[in-house]
Amino acid sequence: MSRGDGKRGKGIGGWALIGLIAIAFLLEGPIREGERALHPLSPSCSSSSSTCPFIQSALTPSALAQPGGLNPGDPAALKVRRRGKDRSEMVFIEAGEFTMGRDRGDPAEGPAHRVYLRGYWIDRYEVTNAQYLMFMEETHRPPPSCWNTPKLNELDQPVVGVSWEDAAAYAKWAGKRLPTEAEWEKAARGGGKESAYHLYPWGNAWDERRVNSREAGRDRTLSVSSLPEGASPYGLLHMAGNAAEWVADWYDPDYYSRSPERDPRGPEQGIWKVVRGGGWWCRSEQCQVTHRRKELPTARTSSIGFRCAMDE
């Protein structure tokens, strides 16, 4: 069994270490930016047949956890709860209108229009490798395509290399769903008048200190709880970079011109699914809250992960 540092593992002892680290991570939450996991996810966990029974039994829903509380400067009125089987921290987005899209950008991002959404919950953080590990152990789903990539497979990094189908399956397992494109953009941009035309979660000015992107000089994903200074008005992290994110909708570049004003769910059918937010590979314009891209629902890349949503 090979380890992320290139050395040879030592049988069941190595698995026990991985189990202890996974449990500790899930109890204490993601590692702070700049810290390193003691051991990356083992290549042996890529087997679709369950070879880690003690991890499976230890990672119960009650053991899952992420950082508690709000970061300094987050709006005090936010309602935050741990919800779903994965016990991830979710933020409640109140019902109301917001401005979706923009007129001066890629044609697929327009026109700018007002949208009313019912209240909903959305994950504050991207789904992590540790959470996806529990899902794999319970469902025997095959591992992501990047499961053994050292710079992407620490426990507190966002899971990437997952298809839309993988993400939807995880969301169903957790008792959740993927957010709609409109829900994702409102959570990233904010619903107030002051944020109606923001290009980034924090405002209009590009700031590479607030985002994990190519222009920030990084070549990997970061902990899902890193860079709190880049949080959205609702306190969500990494809505601009780190991992791009699958959403529920089918992709249609002209959808905004005919989408309903209340709770749009996207086209009824299509070929591609929508991906939102920039990734660690992206340029500044790809990190904008209105940026849309398309991918086949079966695509698995090192830049795409996801977060989940729930109805009120």
SS (H, E, C) 182-242: HHHHHHHHCCCHHHCCCCECCECCCCHHHCCCHHHCCCCCCCCCCCHHHCCCCCCCCCCCC
Instruction: Report d(CA 104, CA 107) in Å as an integer.
Output: 8
Name the strands in the sheet holding 120-123, side by side, starting at the edge strand that comes first in the sequence.
80-83, 88-93, 120-123, 309-311
pLDDT score of 29:
46
Tens of pLDDT, residues 120-173: 999 999 999 999 999 999 999 999 999 999 999 999 999 999 999 999 999 999
CA distances from 263 to 93, 109, 151, 181, 239 (A): 13, 18, 38, 10, 21
Quick one: which of 37, 85, 87 has its CA closest to 67? 87
Domain boundaries along the sequence of the chain: 12-311
Instruction: Report d(CA 12, CA 289) in Å as an integer.
Output: 45
Question: Is domain 12-311 given the CATH code 3.40.50.12160 in the classification?
Answer: no
**CA quadruple 63, 64, 70, 75: dihedral, nearest 10:** -130
pTM of the model: 0.79
pLDDT score of 194:
78
Low-confidence ranges of the chain (pLDDT < 70): 1-77
pLDDT score of 143:
98
Helix or strand holding residue 23 (H, E): helix 12-28
Quick one: which of 203, 306, 216 has its CA closest to 33? 216
Sign of the C-alpha dihedral computed for residues 4, 40, 36 and 281 taken in this order: positive
Tens of pLDDT, residues 237-265: 999 999 999 999 999 999 999 999 999 99
Instruction: Please state whether beta strands 304-305 and 244-250 pair in parallel, antiparallel, or not at all (unpaired).
Output: parallel
Residue with tokens 């990094």: 157
